[in-house]
Amino acid sequence: MILRKHYRKYRAGLKHKLVICFKLLKTIEIEEAKKSLRGIKFETYIDYCKKNDWDLGSYKRIAKKHYNKDILFLNSHSYPICDNWIKKLFFYKKEKILLLLMFHMKVCWTQLN
């Protein structure tokens, strides 16, 4: 899995918590995905909403749950390509912020502490 390889290779530059969101997947598919991410510390968020509201519905539910945190949403085709990748994205941040990098239906996100 590309995310696993790149997440381990490149330092984020800021303390953060990685949360992987699984939506519209069967339990066995979720377990297989978790196995492919071995070696990475992450929290699982299962979006039980049956409505296919694409990434934005999941983003909204996650943002409501973590309304007081900076959130960087990535999709299943996004991954780090350099050191300090989170630090660079949040370099000009002044207040709580929500960044979206979107290309696909699956979601992963990073919550900054």
Q: What is the pLDDT along the chain (113 residues), one digit of tens a residue?
A: 788 899 999 999 999 999 999 998 999 999 999 999 999 999 999 999 988 888 889 988 998 988 888 888 888 788 899 999 989 888 877 776 666 554 433 444 444 44
Q: Which residues pair with 72 in a beta bridge?
A: 99, 110
How many folded domains does the chain comprise? 1
Neighbours of 49 (CB within 10 A): 13
Spatial contact of 96 and 73, defined as CB atoms under 8 Å apart: no
| pTM to 2 decimal places | 0.76
pLDDT of residue 110: 47
- Structural domain span for residue 61: 2-112
Structural Rg of the chain based on CA atoms? 14
